[in-house]
Amino acid sequence: MDRPADDARITTVLGELRRAGGFNALDAAAAAPAGAGWTSFAAFYGSPALVDGRMDLVDAAHRPAERRVSASVLHLGVASRVVSPVLAAACLGVLLELPADRLFWDLAPGSMLPLRAVAPRGRCVDGAAAADVAAALRPALVEEHLRPLGAAVRGRVRVAERLLWGNAAAAVGGAVLMLSRLRPDLADRAAAIGAALIAEGPMRGLGEVLRPDPRSPERRFARRTCCLLYRAPRGDVCGDCSLRGGAGD
């Protein structure tokens, strides 16, 4: 896993991510993108005003009575947007290194939140054990993005840290689910890496990757916490929610 991925390999992987679509998509750029809406994740994590602004959009969409509901829904969405391309790339054999100050997203109103990485780099992880890939992902994903994201949200709204780490685990599980549907050939690899990623560290014990039907490659996720969306008038209980089993935060 110490062999760097060359530019051609990274370009190929990014093309695969675009073809997979959804939250997997990630573009590359030679320099920071221009435009009023483009913001680095480092700037987002460090800006109370930007975090509040995104929570305001969730408020407008779901009209929750509690600000912590919007905080949790925002956190889950951002976590999912970051986790998805990183996990998909790992399944394709490249561990992408996406420092928060070199990963940008477009926060302009109406944007579909495209991601753009400045001069992305990575390491080849073809054939590496899932546990080893997960261990290598933790600094690049958990420490670089998920931990500061949780701190940014909790810095604005009082919300349980365990709930947010449950959201992070659900983001991993959701990425596994979507990959198993969009790329069935990657389903086993995604499930193995995803399960290993949440088996250690702050996501440990907060969810489980499942295969309901052994005849199908599709995976599901069962979380041990609740994102609180059901508490919004326009919300509902999510498919992976712990409340379906009778318990939650």
DSSP string, 86-150: HHHHHHTTEEEE--TTTEEEE-STT----EEEES-EEEE-TT--HHHHHHHHIIIIIIIIIHHHH
Residue 106 lies inside a defined structural domain of this protein = yes
Asked whether residue 173 is assigned to any structural domain, the reply reads yes
Tell me, yes or no, whether 1 lies in a domain. no
pLDDT on residue 204: 95
Q: How far apart are the first and last CA of the chain?
A: 38
Confidence (pLDDT) at 245: 53
Query: What is the tally of structural domains in the chain?
Result: 1
* Percent over 70 (pLDDT), the chain: 90
Per-residue model confidence as pLDDT tens digits over 24-65: 999 999 999 988 889 999 999 999 999 999 999 888 887 877
Displacement of CA 93 from its chain's centroid (Å): 18
Distance between CA atoms of 214 and 120, rounded to whole angstroms? 37
> What are 115's strand-pairing partners?
105
**Within a domain: 2:** no
**Which tens digits make up the pLDDT trace of 134-190?**
999 999 999 999 999 999 999 999 999 999 999 999 999 999 999 999 999 999 999
Q: Strands 115-118 and 103-106, how do they pair?
A: antiparallel
What pTM does this model have?
Answer: 0.91
How big is the chain, counted in residues? 249
Please, how many CA atoms are within 13 Å of residue 193, restricted to the half-sphere of its CB?
36
Residue 211 lies in a domain: yes
- Predicted confidence band of residue 244 (pLDDT cuts 50, 70, 90): low
What pLDDT is stored for residue 173 in this prediction?
95
pLDDT of residue 32: 93
Q: In this predicted structure, what is the pLDDT of residue 51?
A: 96
Q: Higher pLDDT residue, 66 or 7?
A: 7
Task: Classify residue 56: in a domain, yes or no.
Answer: yes
Task: Say if residues 65 and 3 touch (Cβ distance below 8 Å).
Answer: no
pLDDT at 36: 81
pLDDT at site 109: 73
Give the domain range for residue 211: 7-245
In terms of average pLDDT, the best of 62-76, 156-170, 226-240 is 156-170
- Look at the block and give the residue holding tokens 């409340």: 243
